[in-house]
Chain A
Amino acid sequence: MLRFILTRVSLVVPTFIGITLLVFVLIRLIPGDPIETMAGERGIDPVRHEQMRKEYGFDQPVLVQYGYYLARLVRGDLGRSIVTHEPVISEFTTLFPATVELGVCAMLFALCFGLPAGIVAAVRRNSIFDHGVMGVALTGYSMPIFWWGLLLILLFSVQLGLTPVSGRIAVQYFIEPVTGFLLIDTIIAGDWGAFRSALSHLILPMIVLGTVPLAVIARMTRSAMLEVLGEDYIRTARAKGLPTFRVIAIHALRNALIPVVTVIGLQVGVLFTGAILTETIFSWPGVGKWLIEGINRRDYPVLQGGTLMIGAIVMIVNLLVDVAYGLINPRIRHTR
């Protein structure tokens, strides 16, 4: 198992270096100069423009800039935002807990509804339930996040008044961030009103962000389960007279989970992508909204740092997924 993990980790390092280079080059391929973008209609005097380019190091050849960037990166320095002049790492760490909180809740929502829906759809193949679940899953998968978010706000917040419109907590609560995760911080503060408020603010963004992963997980679980349910050993288990629940939950589901776990790992990337839009609609103060602003303002350090950190996190999650395969199915450890 250790060897298996080490092999996986050794693949992560070159991928990480590849990401740094890709991010660095791609951002510079986007048309637009951050200094010009900052100037707006006013324009900028060429002498001052040059001074600022020098100050930010943009006057150097791209490869030299990349070298400096890597050197700083090794020391854990992601640079300072051109717009706010704050260290990128401090902005990221301030905002990241909000994204994680939303992402984890969205994933839990997707798993809680997606897995059972997929299993039941497979067990009751071709039933109305199966067609219904798959129809809803397809709709959910095709739903543009922006439209879906606004629709839910209009229905649940504006018309029915059941949920707050946006934000992370009602403005009258003044919670001191300890972990950055509001659900935890409100418990630490012992303020149950604030906890309820934070929870109610999570509902709609969680549903919106979790819809696509839910649809994917439900579909993938269904197809994996269908495949496994047709296997000989399932027939044997049934023939042995095992209860249906045991056959499905123990014999079928564990084997069906491998492709599902792969998909769950891949959905982490999807969650980050979805978070960009979800956070914008729900005024959720996470890294997604921060990156959008970074793109609009051509804030290179923010884009580089933010993308790199997210890339690293997605890689780590996928590494953990690889390790999880080994735990779910020991054959994988031995064959690789």
Chain B
Amino acid sequence: MNRSILLAAVCASALVAAPAASAKTLIFCSEGSPENFYPGVNTTGTSFDGAEPIYNRIVEFERGGTKVVPGLAEKWTISEDGKVYTFNLRRGVKWHSTSRSFKPTRDFNADDILFSIERQWKEEHPYFKVTSSNHSYFADMGMPKLLKSVEKVDDYTVKITLNQPEAPFLSDLAMPFAAIQSKEYADAMLKARTPEKIDQDPIGTGPFYLLQYQKDAVIRYRAFPAFWGGKAKIDDLIYSITPDASVRWAKLQKNECHVMPYPNPADLDAIRKDPNVQIMEQAGLNVGYLAFQTTKKPFDDVRVRKAISMAIDKKAIIDAVYLSSGVAAKNPIPPSQWSYNDSVKDDPLDPAAAKKLLAEAGYPNGLETDLWAMPVQRPYNPNARRIAELMQADLAKIGVKAAIKSFEWGEYRKRLQEGEHQMGMLGWTGDNGDPDNFLHTLLGCDSAKSASGANIAKFCHKPFDDLVVKAKTVSDQAERTRLYEQAQVIFKEQAPWFTIAHAVQLKPMRRNVIDFKLSPFGRHIFYGVDIKE
């Protein structure tokens, strides 16, 4: 693969003769290599970042936000019953012409939309198994069950019909997995019996085209002059792959890169003191929590859940473990998520009241429980083991003896989903910027009933579920906000989780980087970014 991309790159560079040194170049010290350049089968943020400059989707998230804005579709209409979406596609959108094996002869049109969706949806599609049949996000977002038909009305109109109304559908289409690929390229490669080429030597309609990829070393992109949104402000975009956080920081200091993700918390003080560097920060679209297994004793009793929530010193956890990279969580959705209910009051730290509640629940002498801690660092939880120790000490003060347990990461998550635990830590990072992706996915009854569902509290509370299920079918955002706000009130009353924190996204960059916007999803988007010479 690398060789073919490289050869394509050499051809491309021969065509575009401008030397890199004279062009405006932005270097991003990325944290790893992408899995490949087809986001339909990818699962990691690193891979999505790798494909991001190349592709567009039908609709996009606005830069730095979760609002859905036009992408390859200029506008759209939704039927009264919320089941039929009609997209009017943008005309004159050019494909990159940098592939060594293919030159596009036509602009983007409806056939490309149908191809890109059907490739992930229909098992009999010739491209379903190309690269991988594991279209993970397409399946996880419920697309196979949700889609009824995808039809081409004409070259620039596509009609998508759903089996049931689904308010977050547009947001789903703005996710990386829904990237649009060229059907003409796919047909040509199928004919040449090298279908995998469309993923290995990718072309898209995005603001940059791929120039070179050297695994674990570098990814080079060049601004696509014919991009429908206008040429990018920078000429060259380089991902300098640097897995170690301290080394990324050293490179940023030395001006060997302009932007770096995921700084080491220990380096933050030094980063803040560097006059050439600025840090952008934003509470991420994530939540770290301790889930109570609500179908098991003693946590089937809301008083016990409340007592535990009132016994744990959240501030101490954030100060000691998150350092300056976390904010206390009181709701299951982060403050940057629309419909966040700020009027909800968090449970106070009150060990005496907690003890009283436990006694009322029939545990005057305390109780014994397990306390599961993740074996790995996650974006929403830097050190679960340390947090578990702090919780254990707090709980001991009210007579609760918590035994810390941990397993290998895959096994840990599987057992939690099967409900084997009593108390267990986990978290979530939002996929599509819709509250449904937290409230229904993590706390709805459907998910609680499934052994593979993400509702590890096994929380199934009808008044709550009615609200979040209804909110899925309503397309009016004000109405949905009202429903989700109510759901958050019920959540707090029922306390299926002790909400720990929302990790803050920190992005150190050189001061000459202009107009970089933090993506709530943690993506790195360089279209629109400029460099001061």
Contact = CB atoms under 8 A, between A and B. Distances in A.
Interface of A: 31-33, 36-46, 48-49, 52, 55, 83-86, 90-91, 94-95, 98, 150, 153-154, 157-158, 161, 164-168, 171-172, 174, 176-177, 280-286, 289-290, 293, 298
B452 A85 contact: no
B408 A43 contact: no
Q: In this complex, which of A43, A84, A95, A98 has the most chain B Cβ atoms within 10 angstroms of its Cβ?
A: A43
Given A83-B35, A165-B250, A91 B132 contact: no
Interface stretch (B67-75, B90-98, B102-110, B234-242): B234-242
Contact of A174 (B20, B254, B408): B20
11 contacts: A41-B426, A43-B413, A48-B134, A83-B35, A91-B215, A95-B215, A165-B250, A174-B20, A283-B243, A285-B217, A289-B243
B36 A84 contact: yes
A306 B476 CA distance: 54
Interface of B: 1-3, 6, 9-10, 13, 20-21, 25, 27, 32-33, 35-36, 41, 43, 131-134, 136, 139-140, 212, 214-218, 220, 238, 240-244, 246-247, 250-251, 253-254, 256, 378, 407-411, 413-414, 417, 426-429, 450-454
Contact of A94 (B2, B241, B247, B413): B2
Contacts of A39: 43, 136, 410, 413
Contact of A43 (B132, B238, B452): B452
B250 to A, nearest CB: 5
Contact of B6 (A41, A168, A176): A176
B3 A94 contact: yes
A174 B414 contact: no
B158 to A, nearest CB: 27
**A-B pairs, 10 with minimum CB distance:** A36-B410, A285-B216, A31-B408, A285-B217, A283-B242, A32-B408, A165-B250, A37-B410, A165-B251, A32-B410
Contacts of A41: 378, 413, 426-429, 454
Given A41-B454, A85-B131, A157-B254, A174 B212 contact: yes
A168 B217 contact: yes
A34 to B, nearest CB: 8
B27 to A, nearest CB: 6
A90 B7 CA distance: 15
B244 A283 contact: yes
A172 B20 contact: yes
B454 A167 contact: no
A164 B247 CA distance: 11
A172 B409 CA distance: 40
Given A36-B413, A52-B134, A165-B254, A86 B36 contact: yes
A322 B308 CA distance: 66
Contacts of B241: 283, 285
Contact of A165 (B1, B256, B410): B256
Contacts of A46: 451-452
A43 B238 CA distance: 33
A166 B251 contact: yes
Nearest to B200: A86
Contacts of A43: 413-414, 417, 452-454
